[in-house]
Structure 1
Amino acid sequence: MLDAAATYSLRDRRFHYVNAAAEKILGLGVEAILADPALPYLLVVEEDRPAAIAFLKQTASAGAASGEFRFRRPDGQSRWLAVRSFPVDDASGEPMRALICEDITERKRIEQALRESEARFRQVAENIEEVFWIAAPDGTQVHYVSPAYEKIWGRPAAELYAAPFKWMQSIHPEDQARVMETVTRLQAEQPLEMLFRIFRAGADLRHIRHRSSPVRDAAGRVVQVVCMSEDITEQKRLERQAEESARTQRDALVREVHHRIKNNLQGVTGMLRNYANQHAEVSAVINEAIAQVQAVAIIYGLQGRPGVVRVELCDLLKEVISGIGQLMHRGIDFRNDEQSIGCKVVVSELEAVPVALVLNEMVFNAIKHGSPDTVPTIDLKIDIARERAVLTITNAGLLPDRSERSLPGGGSGLQLIHSLLPRRGARFELINSPAGVEARLTLDPPIVTLKC
């Protein structure tokens, strides 16, 4: 729509010229405006008339003036008009005022819609608990950050407008490099979600879930990145609490099961002892079976103790030595390297029973085949660098030449040892040494781990 145009005489206070566009904008006929110059003023809505009067006074005195008013046309339509005036002279030199009137109703409607949209946006953004961000694709400029930033980060939001990467200074050192690389390399390419930790002002550790998504224009170019940062510290605490509760219940159930299995196995060994006492001719075989059952019972006994979540090799070995010593009425000299280096050897839960049976066979065979006049010696050595435990049982005697290397066969005890050995992380050897025959068991990860 063309702008309305008119000329107004300061001498006779009348319009001398009004174009056709004025009729369309004001809804008044040109002749009516020329006949009654007060008609346009009477169309100004009541609330805007003080501003219109100020405009007219400025027009009369200074010549140049501008203003925006609402007009109500005779047909009832309400229109926003922007009016400008400036001084001109007619052909005779008479001072005149030129008036330009532009219909800005649509612009005002858009502005109002934008204000309402921004108000709704701020109402949401400034009242949600998450931090809402709008930033440049490369992160070098922050266009908006919601007040929740100050609550979660414990820092003023205003600092981000001056230093957009300031928020990263609060990230836990272990997470900083990963977050920086992800944000700078991928944030402008695809939607992201990542978890990291921050130190809120006052050294309060918080867990954050950060999500971002690029915003593209009509041409497909990324023009902004919108982000949402949520404090999930309480959620993490509840998850840990639930996991701990489930673990506690599981451990209690497992301990109860282990305790009952141990009691049943002890009942079996009791019956075997009674049978061995009544049948001396098979007592040696029965004692060997008792030792094997005891070895399994030891594992379940250790795992069934309150507060025990792991089986330590030293504890397992002591129980095996004690059980076999009582069964065979023999002593064994046990030397432990753990105390001197301050490390514990923990046996994998999955391999605890096979390892117990192997230890049982090694100790039982050392007593069974050793000299009655000597005491077998057991050494537990730890190689921290390799995370390795080496168990050596030394007995007086000498192996035949064919036994210098690891034995694939041998007696039933050795066959059992080789059949029980885990395929990875365990090696058994029988060798001659100056001190006598050495049965050596080497345990590596994943069979064992060192806790130092």
Structure 2
Amino acid sequence: MDKDLVVEYINKDIFLGYSYEKLVGKNILTFAESKKLNSTNKEAKEIVHSQDEFKLRLTKKNGEAKEYNAFNHEFQSNPNKLLILLKELENQETNPDEDYRFIIENVSDIISVFDENYDLIFINKAQDSVSGFSKEEVLGESPFDYLHQEDIKKAAKMFQQASVKGYSSGEFRMRNKSGKYVWLEVNIKRATDKKGRKRIIVSSRDIEKRKRIQEELKNSEKRYLHLFDNSPFAIILIDLHGKIIEINSTTSSLTGYEKQELVGKNFQDLSLIQSSFYPPLMRRFKKLVQGKHLPPIDLKLYKKNGEEIWVNFGTSYIKIGDQEFIQSIGYDISDQKKAELLIKQEIKKLRELEQMRRDIIMRVSHELKTPLISIIGGTEWMEMSLKQKKDNDINEVLDMIERGGNRLNKLVDRLLDISKIEFGKLTLNRKKTDLKKLINEVVRSFDFLCDKRKVHITTDLSEQIVLNIDPLRLEQVISNLISNAIKNTPCEGIIHIQLKKEEGFASIRVEDNGIGLTKSELKKIFKRFGKIEREGEGLEYLDSSGSGLGLFISKEIILKHRGTIFAESEGRGKGCNFTIKLPFENK
């Protein structure tokens, strides 16, 4: 270098991040850390005239400062030239003050320093984006000029507390350049600088977004608490050990216990729940934690006054943060339980009455059967004994007694069948039976009655079908169908009976052109005591005698054979068809 410290030569292609060409012709003090240095000041002269080792701090192209041990040598042959040897210091540390300033200027928090009069003497650039003010606009100002009116007292107390105790923290609102107030989280610390002057260091952070979220959560929590506390259902929050965490006001009203009497206590230590429910409830909790969905459960509770109530509880597993709970939502079903109990009692009474009815029918039927046999047998003997005497009055009385006895005997037989059906004792005595032959025999038994009522029976029995059935019971069913058809068919009416094979079944069809059945009557006829009462002009031919048990018994007999029986009719005056289907598996 020359005496003015202008670089004339350097033995490196690149130094301080600059190329050789960029360095030659430049004053070395251009790269010194202090920009105020020049060849006329004292420091430059000291460098030029120093004969000793000294330190020179230079700034690299990237802004990084480097410190060197420097040695200068004057050329004896040319005193206007200066040779400087530079050696980079090993393990050198950067200037702490510079590092701290760099950090402070680049942190996201606002760092501000106030003097003892609370006037702002320093603030970092983080405040620009929050306040909108430049440093020049706020330096020397008091923070209280920018505070929200409601926060001034609180902020003054915080500054005072920091001055006395050394530290304080809190939140307040600061006005930005647009006039909007922004929430800040503030930490205030008392400090003393290198010269012993009192300072207040304030670090603040924009928490406007957090405040909005907190406000939304607060409003949401208020709405939830309102719904929770004003729910018409009892709501109980329990941890997995059975400890009651929270209840709503409906729970208190339902049980009579105040909130403080239940919250914090394990439900197993209370007299609230019947102890027999403890084990199933804990098992239920475990299943809920495992993710299983369980139906509601009915629990018997004891109110504070000792009164028993029934509550239906729906339970679910919930997590709040890292804590696990069982939420139970219930409602009072005491009235429902009372009604259910009353219904059960009434059902029990009805069953007892039904059993009594069955027993009475069975006993009365058996008791009637013995004297009826005597009456019918005695009547037949008297008829035979008086047959020689042609006394019309006596014969008429005997016929009347015989008809009444037979009718009563048939009723008793049906009552006995009903009892057997109800007690499950209706049995079949099966044997191979020719259906064609059986039907012909039944039809012949009605010859006298058909002649008397002037009704004609036709048959189509071309199929020869043999089934393994109870012939007496099937004869009873067919007789009942033909008897009903005769009773409900007018003079000169026709009853047609058909036997044929269908796929998998033997079909017996009894068809008449009598009074017919309505839709409502079709639903009723196969029920017990399902007798149809019909009166009116033109229906004088109807025979309304009967107990209403015949078709019910017929249906049970056919079902016992694993068959079906049903009726069809197009309505009043259009006749009726009864069909029996017996499966061939009875062969």
TM bucket, shorter chain: 0.5 to 0.7
Structure 2 matches for 1:257-276, cutoff 5 A? Answer: none
Residue among 251, 256, 267 paired with 1:154: 256
Distance 2:175 2:372 in 1: 110
Q: Give the aligned residue type for 1:232.
A: I
Match of 1:231 in 2: 332
Structure 2 matches for 1:372-391, cutoff 5 A? Answer: none
Distance 1:32 1:96 in 2: 20
Structure 2 matches for 1:249-260, cutoff 5 A? Answer: none
SS at match of 2:126: helix
Q: Tell me: higher relative CO, structure 1 or 2? Use CA pairs within 8 A at least 6 residues apart.
A: 1
Q: Give the aligned residue type for 1:106.
A: K
Match of 1:144 in 2: 246
How far the C-alpha of 1:50 sits from its partner, in A, is 2.4
Match of 1:125 in 2: 228
Task: Indicate conservation of the 8 Å contact 1:139/1:165, yes or no.
Answer: no
Residue among 122, 128, 141 paired with 1:17: 122
Most deviating of 237-246 and 105-114: 237-246
Distance 2:408 2:374 in 1: 8
Match of 1:4 in 2: 110
SS at match of 1:31: helix
How far the C-alpha of 1:299 sits from its partner, in A, is 11
How far the C-alpha of 1:208 sits from its partner, in A, is 1.5
Residue 26 (structure 1) aligned with residue 26 (structure 2): no
How far the C-alpha of 1:18 sits from its partner, in A, is 0.8
Task: Indicate conservation of the 8 Å contact 2:244/2:267, yes or no.
Answer: no
SS at match of 2:108: coil
Match of 1:208 in 2: 311
Distance 1:134 1:27 in 2: 49
1:272-306 deviation digits (Å, cap 9, x = unpaired): 9976664237999x989967844865999xxxxxx
Distance 1:277 1:255 in 2: 33
SS at match of 2:218: helix
Q: Give the aligned residue type for 1:3.
A: D
* % same residue: 17
Q: How many residues align?
A: 303
Structure 2 matches for 1:342-421, cutoff 5 A? Answer: 350-351=422-423
Task: Indicate conservation of the 8 Å contact 2:120/2:138, yes or no.
Answer: yes
TM-score (norm 2): 0.42
Task: Indicate conservation of the 8 Å contact 2:311/2:332, yes or no.
Answer: yes
Distance 1:353 1:287 in 2: 26
Structure 2 matches for 1:279-318, cutoff 5 A? Answer: 279-280=380-381, 293-294=411-412
Match of 1:191 in 2: 293
1:5-60 deviation digits (Å, cap 9, x = unpaired): 1111116x53221100122222221111114x13x423222222222233344445
Q: Give the aligned residue type for 2:109.
A: D
Structure 2 matches for 1:158-197, cutoff 5 A? Answer: 158-166=260-268, 169-172=271-274, 175-183=277-285, 185-189=286-290, 190-192=292-294, 193-197=296-300
Task: Indicate conservation of the 8 Å contact 1:71/1:81, yes or no.
Answer: yes
How far the C-alpha of 1:254 sits from its partner, in A, is 12
Q: CA, structure 1 residues 217+122, in 2 after alignment: closer, same or farther (shift >3 Å)?
A: closer
**Structure 2: any 5+ residue segments left out of the alignment?**
1-106, 384-400, 428-471, 473-556, 561-587
Distance 1:252 1:279 in 2: 39
Structure 2 matches for 1:233-248, cutoff 5 A? Answer: 233-238=334-339
Match of 1:90 in 2: 193
Match of 2:217 in 1: 114
TM-score (norm 1): 0.53
Task: Indicate conservation of the 8 Å contact 2:365/2:412, yes or no.
Answer: no
SS at match of 1:126: helix
Distance 2:421 2:366 in 1: 19
Match of 2:87 in 1: none
Q: CA, structure 1 residues 97+173, in 2 after alignment: closer, same or farther (shift >3 Å)?
A: closer
Task: Indicate conservation of the 8 Å contact 1:214/1:222, yes or no.
Answer: no
Over the aligned positions, Cα root-mean-square deviation in angstroms equals 5.1
SS at match of 1:279: helix
1:216-263 deviation digits (Å, cap 9, x = unpaired): 589xx983322212222133345566788999999999999x999x99
How far the C-alpha of 1:123 sits from its partner, in A, is 0.9
Q: Give the aligned residue type for 2:280.
A: R
Task: List structure 1 runs of 4+ shifted beyond 4 angstroms.
Answer: 59-63, 173-177, 238-256, 262-277, 281-284, 286-300, 352-355
Higher helix share: 1
**Structure 1: any 5+ residue segments left out of the alignment?**
301-346, 356-411, 413-419, 424-452
Q: CA, structure 1 residues 30+194, in 2 after alignment: closer, same or farther (shift >3 Å)?
A: same
SS at match of 1:148: helix
Task: Indicate conservation of the 8 Å contact 1:126/1:146, yes or no.
Answer: yes
